A and B are shown apart, each in its own frame.
Chain A
């Protein structure tokens, strides 16, 4: 059972470039979310989805887009990378939203130069 799989693990982008961070889960979870983690801070929610076809904004959505065409996949797209988006990004999924444990991917370390 793979759980939550994120790709890539590391990425360097130039300012202005776009890219997509991939996230897939094989647990048939309805709820999926994307966080960013910066030094000395807790996780901050970027976007989340409560099911296929449904997405919503979190605390820090600017500069990011998401889509949820299937239950399994929840890609995060950076539209025009900025140095402020240098961070570690985590994807998570859970069975019943906030009332159950979340399963996290291993993270993507993104550097924007």
Chain B
């Protein structure tokens, strides 16, 4: 079952613009992670944010977490062609005995030169 849902499913912007992607989830979580997947490749970890954190930064990436709304957003500033990829959120459900991350279906981001 999928807990995370990314929004939008696809996003196309001009190079240099900012890109914002959202992730909503259903149950309480321990943490939420964002990953990037380039076409035909494995996933690469971007940021992990814990349930008691509200915002984290890594380079041009900014992640926010709103546990009251059960949502997270990933902001990529000053986008580059190399940011073209699919972006996934994954949640670690709180007190889930199945010991597994729950993944969303992803946002496909296209950066136009």
Contact = CB atoms under 8 A, between A and B. Distances in A.
B49 to A, nearest CB: 12
A101 B104 contact: no
Nearest to A44: B103
A36 B113 CA distance: 32
B8 to A, nearest CB: 14
State which size class the interface on B falls in. Answer: 20 to 34
Given A42-B104, A44-B103, A98-B30, 5 more contacts: A33-B100, A45-B101, A58-B98, A58-B100, A102-B45
Contacts of A35: 103
Interface string A75-99: 0000000000000001010000111
Interface residues of A, number: 27
B81 interface: no
Interface of A: 4, 33, 35, 40-45, 48, 50, 56, 58-59, 90, 92, 97-107
A4 B45 CA distance: 13
Interface stretch (B13-21, B36-44, B61-69, B71-79): B36-44
A107 B41 contact: yes
B31 interface: yes
A106 B42 CA distance: 4
Given A41-B105, A106-B42, A107-B42, A98 B100 contact: yes
